[in-house]
Amino acid sequence: MKTPVNAFKKAIAEKRTQYGLWVSLLGPLSTEVCAAAGFDWLLLDAEHTPNDPMNLLQQAQVIAGYPGVNTIARLPMGHGFVGQALIKQYLDIGIQTLLVPMVDTAEQARELVRCMRYPPEGIRGMAGARASGWGRNANYAKEANREVCLLVQAETREGIENLDEIAAVDGVDGVFIGPSDLSASFGHVGDPWHPEMEKIIAESFKRIQKAGKAVGILTLDEKRAKEHVAMGANFIAVGTDSNLMVKGTTALVAAFKGATPTSGKPQNY
């Protein structure tokens, strides 16, 4: 057995834009519908959903059946003993790329890098788990550090203040700007594209790029997403499974029953 090459990590290192979709509905069947669409990556969200490692494993197995579609998993948290344990579990089940929310300091980023890697570069525990083919891949522990990919989210005032230092951390492969939490942190709750936020996001792109790291962001607006690509976004989520279902079902009801109390416009990240 060979350690799989992380195609997503390779693509963002080569500055090839990767288009993705946020997956929050948990079910293997809905995940497969999204995987079959042909996105470059799917984000399995465990921060704002009740996703657990077993369900993440099932979804990752489904995605693996669609060559060219990469799996990314977002942890509910990345700090402390809980974060360390979850990172180990996610990597052991074979997910190579992790997105960690609410990273505010370079110290936190360095600790995440250590949790992602086997000694001597880190503190990841040894195990003959699924990622190593249940121990059949004798070289896995020697090669895994090369293929894991760490993406950190800058989505608070503190994170933006420390952005240069966070992006400079060796082992951080990309920095993802979280528009909704970031705008809330700056006093613009529910308005992620406030003029002040657009300026901060544009400046953040430049700071991350200056550090030589990949830039990521999520937006549900097609025009704005294309603008972010033009600004240099390397990995960009252009939709969410839940939002697509909300829009589709709302439009279908409206076509037959007219406007309903639940047919308001979904939040446009």
pLDDT digits (tens, 9 = 90+) for 119-141: 999 999 999 899 999 999 999 99
Say what the pLDDT of residue 1 is. 86
pLDDT band at 263 (very low <50, low <70, confident <90, very high): very low
Give the chain's mean pLDDT. Answer: 95
Query: What distance in Å separates the CA atoms of residue 241 and residue 257, rounded to the nearest whole number?
Result: 24
Residue numbers annotated as active site: 48
Say what the pLDDT of residue 128 is. 86
Average pLDDT over residues 194-205: 97
Average pLDDT over residues 240-259: 94
Report whether pLDDT(269) > 70: no
Own/partner pairs for 82-88, CB < 8 Å, 24+ apart? 83/112, 83/115, 84/115, 84/123, 86/53, 87/112, 87/115, 87/116, 87/124, 88/115, 88/124, 88/125
Q: What is the DSSP letter of 195?
A: H
List, for residues 155-176, the tens digit of each pLDDT value.
Answer: 999 999 999 999 999 999 999 9
Average pLDDT over residues 77-93: 94
pLDDT band at 48 (very low <50, low <70, confident <90, very high): very high
Residue 138's identity, in one-letter code, is A
Say what the pLDDT of residue 107 is. 98
Instruction: Give CATH for domain 7-257.
Output: 3.20.20.60
Report whether pLDDT(51) > 70: yes
Instruction: Compute how many other C-beta atoms are within 10 angstroms of the C-beta atom of residue 171.
Output: 17
Report whether pLDDT(266) > 60: no
